[in-house]
Amino acid sequence: MLSGSFNIIEIVDFQMGQDEGNVWNIFLMPLGALLFLVTMIAEVERIPFDMPEAEAELVEGWWTEYGGIRWGLMFAAEYMRAYAACILFALFFLGGWEAPFQHTLSDLPLVGGLISFVFSLIPGVSWVLLKAWGLFAVFVWIRASLHRVRTDQILEFGWRYLLPLSMVNLVFAIVLRLMFWTGEPWALWVPAAVTVISGGLFVVLAIDEDKEALEVQRRPYSTQTVIKASPGSHRD
């Protein structure tokens, strides 16, 4: 929506800019990047969304049907799928095959020419793979930090948070494309303002609710102890 194309090459070109300045989509659409990351983890069925596989369990999931080399090949295929998802994230939000801060570093006095020469020696595919590798490290960190969630929790998270936030992100993309995009490099205040708004929205949603009150509202019944049981009271 923001780049005006579904072509991956054109999306990367949109982030690279023309001759000066470039802004990656992760700075223009941080909310969209976060939503894409969460849904991507769920799609490749990594922890905490690995309930269909449950490969960490010994007696659960379809992984128990395989053993030996077959299990190893299936497990390697799952990691390849996760790395492919990281490559897509790098293309959509991290500038693709462009070096990080290439234009800014190339314009530095004295060393700008040397940096530009070094960047020209590194093939673009190397930058894509390095960015994907860094994002895959985030996958591993999430796997080691979060516990598995139940299926009902996944559904509630999707309907209550992901779907409304995706609508907000769509509105952001339309506004930026129609009202602020002129074909020239983005002004610095645009990604700064978007980041502040997205950060404020995240803080509002991150405020803890009264979980006990919500749990009581969800219960179809309630219990209350009038008199506590004491030893021998059942004999009276």
pLDDT of residue 89: 92
Residue 68 Rama label (left phi>0; alpha psi -120 to 50; beta) = left
The pTM (predicted TM-score) of the whole model is 0.71
pLDDT of residue 27: 83
pLDDT of residue 3: 77
Residues 46 and 53: their CA atoms lie apart, in Å, by 9
40-69, pLDDT tens digit by residue? 888 887 777 776 666 555 555 566 677 778
Where in the chain are the domains?
8-208
pLDDT of residue 183: 66
DSSP string, 137-205: HHHHHHHHH-----HHHHHHHIIIIIHHHHHHHHHHHHHIIIII--SSPPPTHHHHHHHHHHHHHHHHH
pLDDT of residue 168: 84
Residues of the chain with pLDDT under 50: 19
Residues 5 and 9: their CA atoms lie apart, in Å, by 9
pLDDT of residue 219: 54
